[in-house]
Structure 1
């Protein structure tokens, strides 16, 4: 097995929205804001090469939305899906499986693209199976008012129409030891219904793809919950359980949205779980 970080592009989000009720005087120390109160955000995906499978976890925003849409998120940097895949000798047609932690636009937008004449949409990975779970799919395709702006039909429905959509067989509890794709999955409901966090055994390490349960290293304290979470009082015990397990088992936490910290470990302290070490992807995945 080999793992590769796939940087699909950076953007900006409102720091207050990212930290909810936490005062700016506190979160600004770890996630400094610009003059417009915006903080740096990454869309760092993960590619798993395992035998004849090439599995992509999340796909970023993609590039099919309007200039007005992207203007809200102030894209920056030179990363892209295709350049990142090419860096490791791959093309999007090589991808066999696309695993989506959840269907918010910044996690699955790159799964669908315009067709050639721009009259409609098609899967951006023509040879891949797309993986979600039934509970989350139902939640995303019949969205509540709060999340409606994050669940865009053009990002979601073409996967089903193509016949490439598949569902993970979900367990009764919140942890699946081994999924159809060969890795474990931690299910969390605080951010959105049945978000899926892959847990990958890689060499002598456990790599956990944190998605939106732990957006950045600055979000480690349990009460530091994003304003985007639909059930913040549920996020907190989920995050506490997740971080305690990460500290006890020395998990390596792959941060999808932290533009400046790629992989971290955590430890228990008198103040709760806190950062232990930080690493680049090259240090851990090569």
Structure 2
């Protein structure tokens, strides 16, 4: 998709199995099973997707996915297909990992950042040799010293090697990282969760992250059990959906199966997602 001077593309990494009650906390199974059919263990499939933004002098990856470090037994338990390297994924766009200028993380949960590092002999090293790694400082601090609730969602091996590159950029608050590409702190899902907006005078795109992980999470009573601050998640989601509806934004939900792009429409104070 062309958006002003940038192209925006989805990188589909497949799907993973997640307990349906965790993915759709606060609503009845009868309701959420209309969106995703559970298996015999009550698990549903959620998409694992990233976004690539390309401009004349930047190649920006938003989130890095699961990567190749997950051991085979865990891959099987999570219902993952064979791992695909980042090099292979980027080759579809005529790029290599060396061409990536920035990796922006919505947050540091393993399904959004594990692919930024890989096993190399006895070491775990960054995949991207030239990229600047952009993370909210609050998110980094929460991830390197997680509390009892969040520690199972963070794995230091996934992101701590970035500290040795000299290219780790911890930002504090809302910023424009390059012309027309903005980071906006939302909190909610995690303390330092951020979304990405690409915009010019005529059009705009929102990578909403886990503030709204799927198109089924539009309603205010739907959130994930993974949300550390669910009320903040709901508040941020309402604000972003209102903005997207008024601006006719293209919006992306990172855990939707198929990796579709959507527009948001508002009908009698109810938000709906329609494929763009």
* TM-score, normalized by the shorter chain, greater than 0.5: yes
State the match for 1:15 in structure 2: 20
Quote the Cα distance in structure 2 between the aligned partners of 1:169 and 1:21: 32
| Alignment RMSD (CA, Å) | 1.9
Distance across 2 between alignment mates of 1:192 and 1:130: 18
May I ask how many residue pairs the two structures share in their alignment?
271
Q: CA deviation at 1:82?
A: 3.1
Against the structure 1 CA distance between its residues 127 and 261, is the aligned structure 2 distance closer, same or farther, given a 3 Å change threshold?
A: closer
Maintained 8 Å contact 1:168/1:180: no
Match of 1:284 in 2: none
Question: Partners in 2 of 1:72 and 1:143 — Cα distance?
Answer: 25
Gaps in structure 1 of 5+ consecutive residues: 280-286
| Aligned CA distance change for structure 1 residues 104 and 161 (closer, same or farther; 3 Å) | same
* Cross-structure match for 1:161: 164
Q: Secondary structure at the match of 2:205?
A: strand
- 1:283 maps to none
Q: What's the counterpart of residue 103 of structure 1?
A: 108
Q: Is the 8 A contact 2:67 2:84 kept in 1?
A: no
The answer to which of 99-108 and 62-71 deviates more is 62-71
Unpaired runs of 5+ residues, structure 2, are: 1-5
Cα pair 2:68 2:83 within 8 Å, conserved:
no
1:54: which partner in 2? 59
Q: Distance in 2 between matches of 1:162 and 1:100?
A: 16
Aligned to 1:223: 221
For residues 220 and 82 of structure 2, the distance between their equivalents in structure 1, rounded to whole angstroms, comes to: 31
Q: After the TM superposition, which residues 199-278 of structure 1 pair with which residues of structure 2 at under 5 Å, given as runs?
A: 199-201=197-199, 204-260=202-258, 262-270=260-268, 272-275=270-273, 277-278=274-275
Matches of residues 52-201 of structure 1 in structure 2 within 5 Å?
A: 52-76=57-81, 81-115=86-120, 117=121, 119-171=122-174, 176=175, 178-180=176-178, 182-201=180-199
